[in-house]
């Protein structure tokens, strides 16, 4: 079963957010290595990023941010191997606060994550005990707790455990701004959780209020926007978060502008091109999306680095969708057929490919074939839930697709 779409409270939390930040006592060598490591991570050079974080830890074993960064890279590696790092993987509705069953992460990555994040949190706790009125100490602790909460929700499916850690992270970051309102980076965690609480069903939202989470969608987005505009170690993280939230809010032009800026900053991250194209399709701009995807597919073929499972299929699915909207039916069919044949594609993505093939058949006047594709999509959705695809397939099963 596909367990990432609509998994529940906090499964979305900080999904594109690494939560970096300078630790209180880090030396210059460790800080420089951390900056280089995050640049590598944002460029999908995960092995190099991991090596650099290990060097940063060796340069300063008391640098909580170095341990936090090493943990974050292993978290991102797990999401990459699960093919759950794209915005589209986090656009499902949040409908529950229940724990969810998730596949076990690779043991080595899971062990490394827990060792590093436990050390980062321990160092943060120590600094808060020693320097309670120092905003940076609280920021370090809050960032570590936030990263742990994100891993618990997105990798382990431990929603209740994630809530407890997230509440502590929220509280620590509130303390940061109380002590030093200039530290806009604290707004990334605060804004993300405020936004998430505002999207919950009312009974769950009240529970969140009772345990101490503040809500407010507009305020949440504003806090993240301020973090994205404020020079700090987490500025890039806030920009990634905005790509996700702008897409959820249908602010597609804003999302395109942010993702294009990220592409300029991290030119080796091919997935940013896929994000741009996907956002353009949501915005109803298929010609621009096709152009970006054409360039991205060429880059993909030239990139010898590790791919996400089923990644080639995601590229062809999106280009097939763009070409279908442009009336290029033969080319659309070629891409969609290629997507359908890619190994390790996630079930809900395959369902959406089937929906597009149904539309293609409808445009060609083959209603029987179209209905067969829509039924095939609905069969896939039974084991890989996707509310949006299910609604579209059901509607098109009754009424033919027309452009």
| Other residues' Cβ atoms within 10 Å of the Cβ of residue 172 | 23
pLDDT per position as a tens digit, 254-297: 999 999 999 999 999 999 999 999 999 999 999 999 999 999 99
Q: How far apart are CA 65 and CA 220, in angstroms?
A: 24
Average pLDDT over all residues of the chain: 88
Residue 45 pLDDT: 96
Better-predicted residue by pLDDT, 272 or 194: 272
Q: Please indicate, yes or no, whether residues 43 and 145 belong to a single structural domain of this protein.
A: yes
Q: Please indicate, yes or no, whether residues 247 and 359 belong to a single structural domain of this protein.
A: no
Q: 3-7, 22-26, 135-139, 212-216: which has the highest mean pLDDT?
A: 135-139
Residue 197 pLDDT: 75
* Residue in the structure block whose two tokens are 């999509």: 377
Q: Please indicate, yes or no, whether residues 59 and 191 belong to a single structural domain of this protein.
A: yes
pLDDT at 162 exceeding the cut of 80: no
Q: Is residue 321 one of the residues assigned to a domain?
A: no
Q: Is residue 93 one of the residues assigned to a domain?
A: yes
Q: Is residue 121 one of the residues assigned to a domain?
A: yes
Residue 20 pLDDT: 52
Residue 95 pLDDT: 45
Domain harbouring 110, CATH code: 1.25.40
Give the confidence band of 165 by pLDDT, cuts at 50, 70, 90.
confident
Q: Is residue 350 one of the residues assigned to a domain?
A: yes
Q: What is the dihedral of CA 234, 237, 242, 244, to 10 degrees?
A: -160
CB of 275 closer than 8 Å to CB of 85: no
**What is the domain extent for residue 400?**
346-403
Q: Please indicate, yes or no, whether residues 215 and 358 belong to a single structural domain of this protein.
A: no
Q: Is residue 147 one of the residues assigned to a domain?
A: yes
Q: Which of 261, 284, 313 is the last residue of a domain?
A: 261
pLDDT at 392 exceeding the cut of 70: yes
Residue 99 pLDDT: 55
Q: Which of 233, 261, 289 is the last residue of a domain?
A: 261
Q: Is residue 372 one of the residues assigned to a domain?
A: yes
Q: Please indicate, yes or no, whether residues 239 and 125 belong to a single structural domain of this protein.
A: yes
Q: Please indicate, yes or no, whether residues 241 and 133 belong to a single structural domain of this protein.
A: yes
Scored b (16 or more CB within 10 A) or e, 109-118 reads bbebbeebbe
Tell me phi and psi for residue 7, to 5 degrees: -75, -20
pLDDT per position as a tens digit, 346-391: 999 999 999 999 999 999 999 999 999 999 999 999 988 888 999 9
Residue 209 pLDDT: 46
Q: Please indicate, yes or no, whether residues 257 and 353 belong to a single structural domain of this protein.
A: no
Q: Please indicate, yes or no, whether residues 88 and 224 belong to a single structural domain of this protein.
A: yes
The number of domains in the chain is 2
Q: Is residue 305 one of the residues assigned to a domain?
A: no
Q: Please indicate, yes or no, whether residues 243 and 356 belong to a single structural domain of this protein.
A: no
Residue 357 pLDDT: 98
* CA-closest candidate to residue 242, choices 253, 232, 112, 60: 253
pLDDT per position as a tens digit, 212-256: 555 678 999 999 999 999 988 789 989 999 999 999 999 999 999
Residue 11 pLDDT: 40
* CA-closest candidate to residue 369, choices 356, 352, 382, 357: 357
Q: Please indicate, yes or no, whether residues 236 and 351 belong to a single structural domain of this protein.
A: no
pTM: 0.90
Q: Is residue 326 one of the residues assigned to a domain?
A: no
pLDDT at 76 exceeding the cut of 60: yes
Q: Which of 261, 277, 295 is the last residue of a domain?
A: 261
């Amino acid at each position: 079963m596909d367990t990432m779409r609509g998994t529940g409270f906090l499964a979305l939390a900080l999904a594109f957010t690494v939560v970096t930040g300078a630790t209180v006592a880090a030396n210059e060598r460790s800080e420089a290595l951390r900056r280089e490591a995050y640049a590598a991570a944002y460029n999908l050079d995960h092995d190099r990023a991991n090596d650099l974080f290990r060097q940063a830890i060796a340069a300063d074993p008391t640098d909580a941010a170095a341990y936090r960064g090493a943990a974050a890279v292993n978290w991102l590696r797990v999401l990459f191997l699960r093919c759950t790092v794209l915005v589209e993987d986090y656009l499902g509705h949040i409908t529950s606060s229940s724990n969810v069953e998730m596949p076990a992460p690779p043991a080595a990555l899971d062990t490394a994550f827990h060792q590093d994040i436990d050390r980062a949190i321990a160092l943060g706790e120590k600094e808060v005990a020693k320097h309670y009125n120092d905003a940076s100490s609280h920021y370090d602790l809050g960032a570590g707790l936030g990263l742990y909460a994100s891993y618990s929700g997105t990798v382990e499916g431990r929603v209740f455990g994630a809530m407890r850690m997230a509440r502590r992270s929220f509280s620590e970051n509130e303390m940061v701004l109380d002590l030093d309102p200039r530290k806009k980076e604290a707004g990334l965690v605060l804004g993300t959780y405020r936004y998430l609480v505002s999207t919950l069903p009312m009974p769950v939202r009240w529970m969140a209020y009772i345990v101490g989470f503040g809500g407010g969608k507009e305020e949440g987005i504003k806090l993240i926007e301020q973090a994205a505009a404020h020079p700090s170690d987490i500025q890039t993280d806030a920009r990634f978060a905005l790509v996700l939230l702008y897409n959820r809010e249908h602010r597609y032009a804003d999302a395109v502008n942010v993702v294009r800026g990220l592409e300029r900053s991290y030119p080796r991250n091919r997935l940013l091109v896929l994000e741009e194209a996907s956002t353009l399709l949501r915005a109803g701009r298929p010609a621009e999306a096709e152009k970006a995807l054409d360039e991205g597919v060429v880059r993909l073929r030239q990139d010898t680095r590790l791919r996400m499972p089923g990644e080639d299929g995601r590229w062809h699915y999106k280009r097939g969708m763009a070409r279908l909207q442009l009336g290029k039916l033969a080319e659309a069919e070629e891409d969609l057929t290629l997507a359908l044949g890619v190994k390790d594609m996630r079930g809900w993505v395959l369902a959406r490919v089937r929906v597009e093939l149904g539309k293609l058949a409808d445009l060609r006047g083959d209603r029987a074939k179209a209905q067969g594709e829509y039924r095939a999509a609905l069969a896939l959705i039974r084991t890989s839930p996707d509310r949006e695809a299910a609604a579209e397939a059901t509607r098109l099963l009754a009424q033919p697709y027309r452009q």
